[in-house]
A and B are shown apart, each in its own frame.
Chain A
Amino acid sequence: QKEVEQDPGPLSVPEGAIVSLNCTYSNSAFQYFMWYRQYSRKGPELLMYTYSSGNKEDGRFTAQVDKSSKYISLFIRDSQPSDSATYLCAMSAPENYGGSQGNLIFGKGTKLSVKP
């Protein structure tokens, strides 16, 4: 079993739809959870960063962590064509806080396409 599982998609939705992106993980030591957005031919861009369980909202984006189920989600409301990108989840454990030891574990990424 891989440490982090993420459905690669592709996921295609109409403009204005609510998008749900998810990752599951197996290491219960993970406590820091991140979502990156990667446009084609660009580097990953940090979207959301959460610690432990709970929700965090930033504009149209909501990150949700359920540690009991080892499941994290990213919701995008009122999706726009400009949201079309690959979304990568990433996580790390306290002994390598925030990637200070370099150990961010990434999912494979979900490719999202929002159609006008």
Chain B
Amino acid sequence: SAVISQKPSRDICQRGTSLTIQCQVDSQVTMMFWYRQQPGQSLTLIATANQGSEATYESGFVIDKFPISRPNLTFSTLTVSNMSPEDSSIYLCSSAGGGTQYFGPGTRLLVL
């Protein structure tokens, strides 16, 4: 299984600002994913990030709000732009492997 790290582990931000979350995998992977987990809710897929191509966004999520980079096979970033309190959540990245997905520890974001 892949070992995934995320930075920052948590942050408190002011509304209207942006935060970039980094995700590092210890091995090369084709597909990485970004999820949001709101309190008491399921994990919701934001987008799929393939190296060398544009990210594919799920319904309800747009590139202007959640721009994603995937510069190589071990790294990806998710930016939460122009934040509002409704963006307060845990953001998780994952990688596909062995028929399933492995998750990072998550980034806890609080927007004031």
- Interface on A for B, CB 8 Å cutoff? 4, 8, 32, 34, 36, 41-46, 49, 51, 88, 90, 97-104, 106-109
Contacts and interface: CB of A to CB of B under 8 A. Distances in A.
B1, B31, B41, B42 pick with most chain A CB within 10 angstroms? B42
Nearest to A42: B105
Contacts of A49: 98-100
Interface residues of B, number: 27
B60 interface: no
B103 interface: yes
A101 B99 contact: no
A70 B112 CA distance: 42
A49 B98 CA distance: 10
Given A46-B100, A97-B99, 20 more contacts: A43-B6, A43-B105, A44-B43, A44-B92, A46-B102, A49-B99, A51-B99, A90-B43, A98-B96, A99-B100, A100-B31, A100-B96, A102-B31, A102-B33, A102-B45, A102-B47, A106-B42, A106-B43, A108-B41, A109-B42
Given A42-B106, A103-B45, A98 B100 contact: yes
Contact of A32 (B40, B42, B47, B99): B99
B78 interface: no
A104 B40 contact: no
Nearest to B31: A100
**Pairs A-B, 3 closest by C-beta atoms:** A98-B99, A43-B103, A102-B48
B26 to A, nearest CB: 14
Contacts of A100: 31, 96
Given A42-B106, A43-B4, A44-B92, A99 B40 contact: no
A4 B42 CA distance: 10
